Amino acid sequence: MRDEWFIRGKVPMTKSEVRAVSVSKLELTQDSVLYDIGAGTGSVSIEAALQIPRGQIFAVEQNREAVDLIRQNKEKFHADNVRILWGKAPEILEGLPVPSHVFLGGTGGKPEEIIAELLRRNPGVRLVANVIALESLARFLEAAKNLGLEPEVVSVQVARAEQAGEYHLMKGQNPVYIISMGGAGDRI
């Protein structure tokens, strides 16, 4: 989905190319229960919801402005299978259905605490996280090691054409590290 289709405001958003890889790495099924923790504008939640209309998506966000944007995007795209939760993980997760898949767009600096709670709920949960800072990548890798997970890390860097006079030049975006771990293994 094109980035410009989303209502944005000043809230960070997972860009379309990175979102495409991240949603693919989630390995969603038609009956997935997806938590989108640190949902931002809700772009991952919305894209997933449209791909799995029978699935359940829980968009978790602690920023009030972002919660409002998720609500607007949910309405715009008629993503009726998205439920929006305003609060912090892991506390806000209490009482939700057991997740089969989780996208971590933000953890508030608590990746190990959140991942441990998710694994407690479902030892076979599929986890995908996006980070841009090397320190955040190191925290996730350490958390994975401590929790006995084998992460796959992919670095995605996108360049977009921008017009400069008569020419088009490629302007690089920040690289994003996509960390994938856990899940049911081979499905085929």
**pLDDT computed for residue 187 by the predictor:** 52
**Is it true that the peptide bond before 90 is cis, omega within 30 degrees of 0?**
yes
Cβ burial of 102 (10 Å; 0-12, 13-18, 19+) is buried
**pLDDT computed for residue 9 by the predictor:** 87
Task: Average pLDDT across each block of 10 residues of the chain; the chain has 188 residues. List them in order.
Answer: 87 90 97 96 96 97 95 96 96 95 92 96 97 95 96 96 95 95 70
**pLDDT computed for residue 124 by the predictor:** 96
How far is the C-alpha of 53 from the C-alpha of 43, rounded, in Å? 15
**pLDDT computed for residue 188 by the predictor:** 47
**pLDDT computed for residue 185 by the predictor:** 60
Q: What is the pTM of this model?
A: 0.93
